[in-house]
Amino acid sequence: MKNIKHVGFVFLILLNLIACTQNTSKTDYFASNAFGNPVTGNVGEYYNGVTYVSYQGPLEDAYVAAYHHQTKKWVGPFKAGTSLMGKDPSRKIDNHGKPTLVVDKNGYIHMVFGGHGGTKALGKNPLGNYHYGKQKHVVSKKPYDISSWQEVDNISPFGTYSRFIKMDNGDLYLFYRHGAHTSNWVYQKSVDNGLTFTQPISIIKTKKSKLSSESQNIQDSWYLHFSKGKNNDIIVAYNYHVCKGPKHDGERHHVYYMKFDTNKNEWYNVKNEKLMLPVTKEQADIMTLVKNTGERWTHNGIARLDKNGNPHVTSYEGDYEGKIHGGVKTLQHYYWTGQDWKSNQNNDLPEGARGEMLINTNNQIKLLLGDTTNNGDVAWWISNDNGNSFTKETILLKSKKGKFLLSNFIRNAHPDAQILVAEKKGNEDIKMCLLGENGPIYRSKKDAK
Ligand code: ZN
């Protein structure tokens, strides 16, 4: 009897030990080979029980992984395509060719990546200037299978900030800037699952600015963020870059909003007044301005709709601090009341934090923000008063000595996998996490390489 008890006790200790090993061998990241600033924009999609995600990996190449929700199994990461950038050790990390991902109606997975405006070696850029890299399109060889890929030559090579939007009928829109700073922003549309695309169609125009003088050449330049709006609309939050020469810096101002009715193939401002394409600086100022930020510098945020279909827009704003991109910027929230744009001070949000926004059916505004200071976290911030005040609610991830960079929400997201997050401790240690309502999806440590 005594012996049996003893054996049982030892057995319990063993069980505990195994459990401990299992706990410590699980990690909150699924890959540790991310590189630079690995995520931006529309990086993933939930499709038929699987979440597909993409990010920038070693040598700035395009990587992909998939999570099967029912079996709770990860697949990948796999390299999906090779960038022309990231191979020359004398250049700094470019970070402009991060991948965007979409799944077409037949289950094939598409990624576009690798562009920072292209080079003269790729031919004449009719809609802008050059910088580096080549915008590439790769497609999975088989549906639902991320293990093998082929490159297809059916989009312009002069893209950067590439972003796929998929409409409910399966039409694909690929948005990007058609070159370096002084280039039009364009889209190419595909109605046949990415087999063919239209020629690039210009949305907004780069041209010599009316602010130019004899001593200073200034070009109108832009940063646009696209997301799916109501029904067949695509909504756009954007800002203006004062592209100066010969001495150049990152001066950007103001907040703008417009939308694209893809059914009518027409563009409108918030009052449903029709816009003429490509939009010029003059037209943007008169028709689409959310906020003139004056001397304050901005980084572009996003637009989302509330339950009444009114847009809310985020922007990151701060005073010029003598730095190339101005200085620390903090999220500012704007919303359309039906009559005019309202703004808030947003003093309670953490300096430098960036991320996503959704407005739920109670018109509660929820920001999911990644802290860009060290020892940061990823947390939900909630406002019940139209953005006048925000309260920190749930912390989903925390980092010792790390900061967080967030993608946009995953298309058609499963509650367990809403956003892709990079945890970054310098350029050497960057981990990729897939976050849902209750926190990260775990993976065994040996597989999360
Ligand atoms: Zn510029």
Q: 136 CA to middle of ligand 1, Å? A: 23
Taking the centre of ligand 1 as the mean of its atom positions, its distance from the CA of residue 188, in whole angstroms, is 24
Residue closest to 171 by CA, chosen among 41, 309, 276, 265: 265
Q: What is the CA(437)–ligand 1 centre distance, in A?
A: 38
pLDDT, mean of residues 113-134: 97
Say if residue 8's pLDDT is above 70.
no
Q: pLDDT tens-digit profile of 227-271? A: 999 999 999 999 999 999 888 999 999 999 999 999 999 999 999
Q: What's the 218 CA to ligand 1 centre distance in angstroms?
A: 9
Residue listed under structure tokens 């301005």: 289
Three-state DSSP state, 205? coil
What is the distance in A from the centroid of ligand 1 to the CA of 128? Answer: 12
pLDDT tier at 373 (50, 70, 90 boundaries)?
confident
The pLDDT, as a whole number, for residue 344 is 84
pLDDT given for residue 226 in this prediction: 98
What pLDDT score was predicted for residue 438?
86
Q: Specify the pTM.
A: 0.93
For residues 78 and 87, what is the distance between their CA atoms, to the nearest angstrom? 19
431-442: per-residue pLDDT in tens? 999 999 989 999
DSSP collapsed to 3 states, 387-432: CCCCEEEEEEEECCCCEEEEEEEEEEEECCEEEEEEEEECCCEEEE
| Percent over 70 (pLDDT), the chain | 95
Give per-residue pLDDT as tens, 296-321: 999 999 999 999 999 999 999 999 98
> Among 11-25, 109-123, 411-425, whose mean pLDDT is lowest?
11-25
**Cis status of the peptide bond prior to 246, with omega within 30 of 0:** yes
Kindly state the helix (H) or strand (E) to which residue 12 belongs, with its residue range: helix 2-24
> According to the model, what pLDDT value does residue 11 have?
53
* Exposure string over 332-346, b if 16+ CB within 10 A, otherwise e: bbbbbeeeebebbeb
Mean pLDDT for 272-277 is 98
Reported in sequence order, the residue ranges of 183-280 that DSSP labels E, i.e. its strands, are 185-190, 201-204, 207-208, 217-228, 233-245, 252-261, 266-268
Relative to beta strand 207-208, strand 443-444 is unpaired
Instruction: Please tell me the total number of residues recorded for the chain in this structure.
Output: 449
The per-residue pLDDT for 18 is 46
Per-residue pLDDT, 3: 53
Catalytic residue among 161, 173, 256, 335: 161
51's enclosing H/E stretch is strand 50-56
Q: How far is the CA of 166 from the centre of ligand 1 (A)?
A: 30
Beta strands per DSSP E along 82-159:
100-103, 109-116, 132-142, 145-152
**Which residue is associated with the tokens 């580096």?**
132
Span from the CA of 247 to the centroid of ligand 1 (angstroms): 10
Kindly tell me if the per-residue pLDDT of 349 is higher than 90.
yes
Per-residue pLDDT averaged across 151-161, rounded?
98
Single out the catalytic residue among 46, 52, 67, 96. Answer: 96
Stretch (H or E) spanning 281: helix 281-287
pLDDT band at 24 (very low <50, low <70, confident <90, very high): low
Any residues with CB less than 8 A from the CB of 410 and at least 6 apart, and which? 43, 44, 45, 46, 51, 53, 417, 418, 419, 420
pLDDT tens for each residue of 317-346: 999 988 888 888 999 999 999 999 999 878
Residues whose CB is less than 8 angstroms from the CB of residue 285 and which lie 6 or more positions away in sequence, other chains included? none
Question: In the annotation, is 96 catalytic?
Answer: yes
Q: Per residue in 37-48, pLDDT tens?
A: 999 899 999 999
Average pLDDT on 373-402 reads: 91
Q: What is the DSSP letter of 279?
A: B
Which residue is it, tokens 């200073």? 216
Distance 219 CA to ligand 1 centre (A): 8
pLDDT of residue 372: 77
Q: What backbone torsions phi and psi does residue 5 show, to the nearest 5 degrees?
A: -55, -45
196: pLDDT strictly greater than 70: yes
pLDDT of amino acid 135: 98
Q: Kindly give the distance from the C-alpha atom of residue 252 to the centroid of ligand 1, in angstroms, as a whole number.
A: 9
Q: Is the pLDDT of residue 132 over 60?
A: yes
User: Distance, CA 315 to ligand 1 centroid (Å)?
Assistant: 19
Give the model's pLDDT for residue 10: 53
Amino acid 21: pLDDT: 43
| Residue 334 confidence (pLDDT) | 97
Angle at CA 39, nearest 5°, toward 34 and 42?
140
Residue 238, pLDDT score: 98
Q: How far is the CA of 366 from the centre of ligand 1 (A)?
A: 33
Tell the burial category of 3 from Cβ atoms under 10 Å away from its Cβ (0-12, 13-18, 19+).
Answer: exposed
pLDDT for position 245: 87
As a whole-number percent, the residues of the chain with pLDDT over 90 amount to 84
Please report the pLDDT score of residue 346 as a whole number: 80
> Does pLDDT of 51 surpass 80?
yes
Q: Near ion ligand 1, which residues have CB within 5 Å?
A: 181, 243
Q: Is 333 a catalytic residue?
A: no
